[in-house]
Amino acid sequence: MRFKALLFTLSCLAGNLFAQDRSIETVLNKLNSHKIPYIYSKDLDLGNKTILLDAREWAEYKVSKIPGAVYVGFNSFDINKIKTLIPNNENKIVVYCSIGIRSEQIAARLKRAGYIHVFNLWGGIFEWKNEGKTVVDSSGIPTERVHAYSKNWGVYLKKGVKVYDK
């Protein structure tokens, strides 16, 4: 657990360094290992038995999510809960977070646990929203609000209403 927290802290610090670029692609190229294949939102078919997992924290998830997404968290991620939730390791699973860094780490854990068809949503919920796609609130109602995680990471969210923790 401490190692995971350290990795995430380092990625947040790196976010401060890369915020000047304002390019999701640059950040993903520098911070991700690329061992998990990306899937792009234009190629994501939510109705085709794809399981969509949200690897953000609860405060982010409760503001908005991609329709149909299931909360799994990052710091609270539990592979044993996933094995109960998704007993078939051949299901297509797409993991997302804000832009795709935390989701790559969660997707890698899924792969190590034996899941075969695991993808990382390129650009995460930020790129999803930037492309004008719908996000929904905790009641399933479309919203413009997206938790922007922090002011440093929020620069990558170009559309919608940025929400930060109080």
**pLDDT (tens digit per residue) in 3-37:** 555 455 555 555 555 445 569 999 999 999 999 99
Amino acid symbol at 123? G
Residues 15 and 150: beta-carbon distance below 8 Å? yes
pLDDT for res 101: 97
pLDDT at 136 over 70: yes
Total-model pTM: 0.87
SS3 of residue 13 by DSSP: helix
pLDDT per position as a tens digit, 58-106? 999 999 999 999 999 999 999 999 999 999 999 999 999 999 999 999 9
CA angle 126, 17, 1 (to 5 degrees): 75
CATH fold of 2-163, please? Oxidized Rhodanese; domain 1 (3.40.250)
Domain boundaries, the chain: 2-163
Q: Mean pLDDT in the chain?
A: 90
* Concatenated DSSP letters of 79-115: HHHHHHH---TTSEEEEE-SSSSHHHHHHHHHHHTT-
